[in-house]
Amino acid sequence: MDVSESLTHKNGRQRKPVVSSLVMTNRESQLEVEDDEEVLLPSADRSEGQVKSIKGELGNVALLLFLYVLQGIPLGLAGSIPLILQSKNVSYKDQAYFSFVFWPFSLKLFWAPLVDSLYLQRFGRRKSWLVPTQYLLGLFMLYLSFTVDSMLQADRLDVITLTAVFFMLAFLAATQDIAVDGWALTMLSRENVGYASTYFLFFWGIVFMISTTLVAILKKENSRAQHMKKKKSREETQGVMETYKLLFHIIKLPTVFTFCALLLTAKIGFSAADAVTGLKLVEAGVPKEQLALLAVPMVPLQILLPVVISKYTAGPRPLDIFCKAFPFRLLIGLEYALLVWWTPSVRLDEGFPAYYYAVVLLSYAVHQVRGVVFVAVHHGPKVALYSMYVACMAFHAKVSDPLIGGTYMTLLNTVTNLGGNWPSTLALWLVDPLTFKECQGAPGQTCSSREEAGLCVREGGVCITTLDGYYVESLVCVLIGLCWWIFFAKRMKRLQEERPSAWHCRVAK
């Protein structure tokens, strides 16, 4: 598109000209037409005004980054529990039960309209939920700091109770996520909203309490002076039933329905690698403490990577990044299977050598980066580090309609999370049925169940794994993922060519 044929607005965005002969008597209708004609230009064609505009919003970006970091702490705590359970020799069926802890982020769509619609106007639409939710998170973690040890050190672990406790923690974090997602759409200007996605117990309980108090007192929502300088915000207040109706209307949109179907199936190919690999390493004798320590060097990468890739994910086609990273992540799944197979052969009497942990750390780092590819930009190749997750979240922010901003973002994020959770739970559940063992040293005994395996040991035998279900799953998942990439990746990229009106709600005035 020739820049000379576009209209440049004060905020630096460039739009196709609206036909001058169309005189709109209703100002809101005119705004909708302009929005429908909006075309995001590649990063090189953006005006200098947009580059500067993000500098004026660094405070808001920093606040969002901080809130999203707080949101990840409960999930990080819950994510450490499967390693502890594995060290206590629980079954993979029990691991599948505990994996439901991560499902609130896949179910939050059901209560998102309540968060989006019910609030105290004087306190703020988002803060009405953000503040009490984070106070509850802080209190909940303070409570767990005194009780979680006794729960994990019981002679017989009650996995169901443990799952219920951490499910509540994840439920509160998911509710906080709804509020923050909705706030991100109005806290940042529309052209910068894509940047929103880029950016133990006792201590963090205190952090939640202090940070939430500061937000409640110091941060104001939707300053009139700030928004008068931008295009009129389309965020409107909807009742609960109206929001649910709008949500149903959104799901029926062909673009949204197609996108949701793709998100629900895209991560099948990664499920065995993501859900089972770490547990298999613990089963092979790798100390869970060492695996946990390997996460520390990853923190700088996890912080810097979104910043580095924001120039790509904040562009008009973030899903290109997602699709180009896809085959690399599939290859990482095979590499993880080889790592698990290799692990027993390098184990020494005193543990594992240092070079083994270096290999594991490198594997985790590559998994975070999700591949290095050449991206054609401005007729030349550039090497880009990127994350599929950040690219997907950036696209969510771009297509979400602020009319029901929190609920719209929650819908897309919920489907994304569900697309990862259900394959992971299924992968954990199928490890044992796909694993075949035989009892050696005790004729007539089998190892098809935990009880039979115990009987084999009591009879002087030992259970030997003849086929590990993890390797079966790894191969099958990669094949399914490869088929998805061949047949559906292009369809996902074409969704970026849809007009903004294909994603927005149409409400009778």
Give 366-399 pLDDT, tens digit per residue. Answer: 766 554 333 333 333 333 334 677 778 778 877 8
Alpha-carbon distance of 326 to 392, in angstroms, equals 12
pTM of the model: 0.68
Average pLDDT of 465-480? 93
Give the CATH architecture of domain 54-434+468-502: Up-down Bundle (1.20)
**pLDDT band per the 50, 70, 90 thresholds, residue 428:** very high
- Please tell me which residue, 486 or 456, carries the higher pLDDT value: 486
Cα atoms in the Cβ-side hemisphere of radius 13 Å centred on 310: 18
- Please tell me which residue, 477 or 85, carries the higher pLDDT value: 477
Say how many C-beta atoms besides its own lie within 10 A of residue 59's C-beta: 10
What's the pLDDT at 32? 40
Alpha-carbon distance of 477 to 22, in angstroms, equals 54
Query: CA Rg, the chain, in Å?
Result: 25
**Encoded amino acid at 59, one letter:** G
**pLDDT band per the 50, 70, 90 thresholds, residue 343:** very high
What is the residue-wise DSSP string for 248-283?
A: HHHHHSHHHHHHHHHHHHHTGGGHHHHHHHHHHHHH
**pLDDT band per the 50, 70, 90 thresholds, residue 21:** very low
Please state the domain extents for the chain: 1-53, 54-434+468-502
Please say if the pLDDT value at position 90 is more than 80: yes
Q: What percent of the chain has pLDDT over 70?
A: 69
Q: What is the pLDDT of residues 144-171, one digit of tens each?
A: 888 888 888 766 788 888 898 899 999 9
What is the residue-wise DSSP string for 390-456?
A: HHHHHHHHHH--GGGHHHHHHHHHHHHHHHHHHHHHHHHHHHHHH-EEEEESSTT-B-SSHHHHHHH
- Please tell me which residue, 282 or 242, carries the higher pLDDT value: 282
- Please tell me which residue, 89 or 273, carries the higher pLDDT value: 273
DSSP 315: S
The least confident of 2-6, 212-216, 318-322 is 2-6
For residues 67 and 180, the answer to whether their CB atoms sit within 8 Å is yes
- Please tell me which residue, 428 or 21, carries the higher pLDDT value: 428
What's the pLDDT at 265? 94
